[in-house]
Amino acid sequence: MRKEIVEQVIKNRDDFTIKSEVENLLKQMTLKEKIGQMYQAPYSATELVGPTWNNLDTEGLIKEGSVGSILSLSDLDSIYNLQKIAVEESRLGIPLFFAYDIIRGYKTIFPIPLAISSSWDTDLLEESCKIIAKESANSGLHMTFSPMVDLVRDPRWGRVMESHGEDPYLGSEIGKAYIRGFQQGDFSKRDAIAACIKHFIGYGASEGGRDYNNVDISRHSLFQYYLPPFKAGVLEGVASVMTSFNVFEGIPATANRYLLKDILRDKLGFDGVIISDYTSTTEIINHKIAADFKEVAQKCSHATLDIEMVGTSFIDELEAICDENPEYLELVDQAAARVLTLKYKMGLFDDPYKGMKDKGEKLYLLPEYREKAREMSEKSMVLLKNESLLPLNRETKIALIGPYADSKNVLGFWNGLGEEKDCISLLEGLKNAGFSNIEHLQMELDQSEVLDEKLFGEALTMASRADVVLLALGEHQFNIGEGASRTLLEFSESQKKLAQEIKKLDKKMALLSFTGRPLILDWFHENMDAVLQVWFLGSESGNAIGNILSGKKSPSGKLTMSFPQNQGQIPVYYNCLNTGRPLDRNNVHRFCSRYIDSSNEPLYPFGYGLTYGEIEYEKLKLDKREMTPEDSLEVSIQIKNTGSHEAEEIVQLYIEAETFSVSRPLKELKGFKRVKLKKNAVEKVIFKLTAEDLKFHNRDLEYVNESGKYKIYVGKNSRDTLVETIDFKNFI
Ligand code: GLC
């Protein structure tokens, strides 16, 4: 496999120093101790849920040098004590590193990643991740299992909440921002942490949207859609990569040498640590490619996996395997070397108690952290419909009704160490925003998502007294995330019934949708005056929504995942191929790619989102009609805010490849810019496209340019665009 030369710049002499230190340390280590670096132990069963494992004497294993790192431990005293055992009681005193799923916040909790991606604000995301890193690094943690960059197209999958949607380019830009914010160029720094990009690879394509289910995608799809965010993360210097639970070409990713060695290490040039997912090593027995732990250890080690998370096949079996088969010794040496190198880069050989001494809690939830979380939350919401209802006058008589009317349970899933008590409820946020005339009815929601219908009478009475009804409906926080795939993508029957009953009162109504995925909102789109996709926003939820509903801030978020009109359309995504019989919007005839009972179009397309402004697009211009690989193309457009509110518009640039050696998507996002527009303001927005932006994977999986025509689209979403054409002449 041709090694794609990633710029292997030795950042400073430290890389040479680290290399010699690691080689020196390896010479002193026993085989058992080297294998120990390849084991990540869960310390406290009470802190974890999930597949059980035999009760290990973790402290005893640390003393004998058989543990390299610890998973999901947050108690600072326990972290310090385990590190003390490793440093002072093991033979060589090699420090542990501590890792946790601080996906989008430690104590200051930011929106769920699907919401964060809807902000399209990579600068703000990078700043947010610096805060997340600071709270984490000062709480004894050295690595976060974030960002998750799985491309997703199926809202039935619970983990879409953790993703950044259906586009590889946007997913790449967002993944890089997380890494820059977490690692800050050098994660030995006091307030930085190592990032771990996941799940490598293809997990988001689980069949039926059912978690952990089979994945069957082509190598071409893998390279064209699923690989780009990982390639971008490797180029951004991500410290580690986590393998996924699924198979690829029938072999589980965790034991798949083609994926881990040929692609990740050899083709992308990744020289960091590859860590398994939680028991994804021993699960290859369930995948029926290993009969026992010995075969698990053989296959995962041969695939060049460095760390086994929770499973104990490496520490139980690898020593004997190496005795029987010396070729494994080299694999163990390489894995141990990568883990030790990571620890050097974490600064742990200089200060193994880094971040463990003075308690970090004085840093938690600082006002400036809350302010950043509020800004990200404001920018993450997506206004899907607004028939001149929002923003609301602060004197409006409001009936605030539903399970999220006054709930602090707005964290969603994968909440780090976030606590509900630190969250601002919607009612609190509306009051903080100056709304003075609110009646509210908080309705409890458990995982059945069935409301207490005895409260419906009170709800109707309250609604009948109001000018505007705000319906705060949603999913239960444990009905989203890992292990929470669902077959019915709608609000629960009782939530729908509540909405339908109130609708009969013929009041102005807005739906505030607290969900972790796209739901089918067709009835709400028809019957609400406004629809605001709120997601789960974390600590500053209520304040952010209050600022949007009051008009203090204009909504600016744009969807990064299409919202289907109905479940039958799934998967529906914007960057799809044209097919040999495309649906001709003018004259639908039988024999074309269509449904007999639905359109092909989503209810809300990728990139869609309204602001309080009225943004007009005009004067799309290209500075040339032909370009070569040496050229760059300047694309300019003029946008104007003719509305009565200032706004921030996310201007999007797409390409459509006309005729090339493989069929390419109808549209591909290749640029985006957030532009502030005061009332009546006019802005000229300029993009630059290069030959690199036009590359794609041909049938031989080479990343190439070819000569051909492109349409260049610029607009407010993937559907509503202006278009021009360019002819690309590839002379190479
Ligand atoms: C989970 C998830 C993974 C997470 C890991 C450690 O099963 O798949 O994303 O980082 O276990 O908690």
pLDDT band at 52 (very low <50, low <70, confident <90, very high): very low
Rounded to the nearest angstrom, the distance between the alpha carbon of 298 and the centre of ligand 1 is 23
Tens of pLDDT along 103-159?
A: 999 999 999 999 999 999 999 999 999 999 999 999 999 999 999 999 999 999 999
Helix (H) or strand (E) holding 621: strand 615-622
The Cα 500–Cα 515 span in angstroms is 19
**Token pair belonging to 472:** 């705060």
Rounded to the nearest angstrom, the distance between the alpha carbon of 34 and the centre of ligand 1 is 24
pLDDT band at 170 (very low <50, low <70, confident <90, very high): very high
Q: Following CA atoms 239, 245, 250, 253 in sequence, which dihedral angle do they give, to the nearest 10 degrees?
A: 10
255 pLDDT above the threshold of 80: yes
Rounded to the nearest angstrom, the distance between the alpha carbon of 584 and the centre of ligand 1 is 44
CA-nearest residue for atom 6, ligand 1, is: 278
Task: State the closest ligand 1 atom to the C-alpha of 148, by its place in the atom list counted from 1.
Answer: 9
Q: What is the pLDDT of residue 732?
A: 58
The average confidence (pLDDT) of the chain is 94
Rounded to the nearest angstrom, the distance between the alpha carbon of 245 and the centre of ligand 1 is 10
- Region 614-618 average pLDDT: 96
The Cα 30–Cα 149 span in angstroms is 37
The Cα 103–Cα 114 span in angstroms is 12
pLDDT band at 367 (very low <50, low <70, confident <90, very high): very high
The CB-based long-range contact list for 211-214 (8 Å cut-off, 24+ gap) reads 211/157, 211/158, 211/159, 211/482, 211/483, 211/484, 211/485, 212/245, 212/246, 213/246, 214/246, 214/247
The Cα 132–Cα 250 span in angstroms is 37
The Cα 41–Cα 38 span in angstroms is 10
Report CA-CA distances (Å) from 600 to 2, 651, 711, 716.
Answer: 40, 25, 22, 20
Task: State the closest ligand 1 atom to the C-alpha of 72, by its place in the atom list counted from 1.
Answer: 12
* Residue type (1 letter), 686: I
| Three-class SS state of 212 | coil
Burial of 249 (0-12, 13-18, 19+ CB in 10 A): middle
- Region 475-490 average pLDDT: 97
> Residues lining ligand 1, judged by CB closer than 6 Å?
72, 101, 145, 198, 277-278, 482
**Token pair belonging to 400:** 């605030």
| Sheet containing 468-474, strands listed edge to edge, beginning at the edge strand earlier in sequence | 382-386, 530-533, 508-514, 468-474, 398-402, 438-442
**Inter-residue contact 440 to 512 (CB < 8 Å):** no
User: How many of the other CB atoms lie within 10 Å of CB of 215?
Assistant: 21
pLDDT band at 43 (very low <50, low <70, confident <90, very high): confident
Residues facing 675 on adjacent strands: 649
Counting Cα atoms < 13 Å in the Cβ hemisphere of 307 gives: 30
- Region 442-461 average pLDDT: 97
727 belongs to the catalytic site: no
97 pLDDT above the threshold of 80: yes
Q: What is the DSSP letter of 603?
A: S
Location of structure tokens 């607004």? 386
Burial of 730 (0-12, 13-18, 19+ CB in 10 A): middle
The Cα 194–Cα 409 span in angstroms is 29
Q: Ligand 1, residues 48, 152, 244, 278: which to mutate, most atoms within 8 A of Cβ?
A: 278
- Region 273-299 average pLDDT: 97
Location of structure tokens 């250890």? 297
229 pLDDT above the threshold of 60: yes
Rounded to the nearest angstrom, the distance between the alpha carbon of 376 and the centre of ligand 1 is 24
Written in H, E and C, the secondary structure of 43-94 is CCHHHCCCCCCCCCCHHHHHHCCCCCEEECCCCHHHHHHHHHHHHHHCCCCC
Rounded to the nearest angstrom, the distance between the alpha carbon of 174 and the centre of ligand 1 is 20
Sign of the CA dihedral with 29 first, then 30, 34, and 37 last:
negative
Those residues whose C-beta lies under 8 Å from the C-beta of residue 170, and which sit 6 or more positions away, are 117, 120, 164, 560, 669, 672
Q: Ligand 1, residues 145, 203, 283: which to mutate, most atoms within 8 A of Cβ?
A: 145
Rounded to the nearest angstrom, the distance between the alpha carbon of 246 and the centre of ligand 1 is 13
**Inter-residue contact 103 to 324 (CB < 8 Å):** no
pLDDT band at 57 (very low <50, low <70, confident <90, very high): confident
The Cα 646–Cα 626 span in angstroms is 37
Tens of pLDDT along 539-591?
A: 999 999 999 999 999 999 999 999 999 999 999 999 999 999 999 766 668 88
Q: What is the pLDDT of residue 3?
A: 36
32 pLDDT above the threshold of 80: yes
Helix (H) or strand (E) holding 369: helix 367-380
pTM above 0.85, yes or no: yes
Written in H, E and C, the secondary structure of 158-188 is HHHHHCCCCCHHHHHHHHHHHHHHHHCCCCC
Q: What is the pLDDT of residue 359?
A: 64
The Cα 27–Cα 43 span in angstroms is 29
CA-nearest residue for atom 7, ligand 1, is: 278
**Token pair belonging to 410:** 């707005």
Those residues whose C-beta lies under 8 Å from the C-beta of residue 212, and which sit 6 or more positions away, are 206, 245, 246
The Cα 197–Cα 492 span in angstroms is 34
Rounded to the nearest angstrom, the distance between the alpha carbon of 127 and the centre of ligand 1 is 24
Query: What pairing do the DSSP bridges indicate for beta strands 273-275 and 240-243?
Result: parallel
**Inter-residue contact 158 to 482 (CB < 8 Å):** yes
- Region 383-402 average pLDDT: 98
Query: What pairing do the DSSP bridges indicate for beta strands 632-641 and 615-622?
Result: antiparallel
Report CA-CA distances (Å) from 209 to 152, 153, 156, 327, 619.
Answer: 9, 9, 5, 40, 42
CA-nearest residue for atom 12, ligand 1, is: 101
* Residue type (1 letter), 158: G
CA-nearest residue for atom 3, ligand 1, is: 277
Of 150, 277, 306, 693, the catalytic one is 277
Written in H, E and C, the secondary structure of 238-281 is CCEEEECCCEECCEEHHHCHHHHHHHHHHHCCCCCEEECCCCCC
Tens of pLDDT along 187-213?
A: 999 999 999 999 999 999 999 999 999
Tens of pLDDT along 311-359?
A: 999 999 999 999 999 999 999 999 999 999 999 999 999 999 999 977 6
Q: What is the pLDDT of residue 363?
A: 87
What is the crossing angle of helices 168-183 and 228-235, to 10°?
30
**Token pair belonging to 295:** 């075969």
Q: What is the pLDDT of residue 214?
A: 97
Q: What is the pLDDT of residue 7?
A: 35
CA-nearest residue for atom 11, ligand 1, is: 278
pLDDT band at 12 (very low <50, low <70, confident <90, very high): very low
Q: What percent of the chain has pLDDT over 70?
A: 95
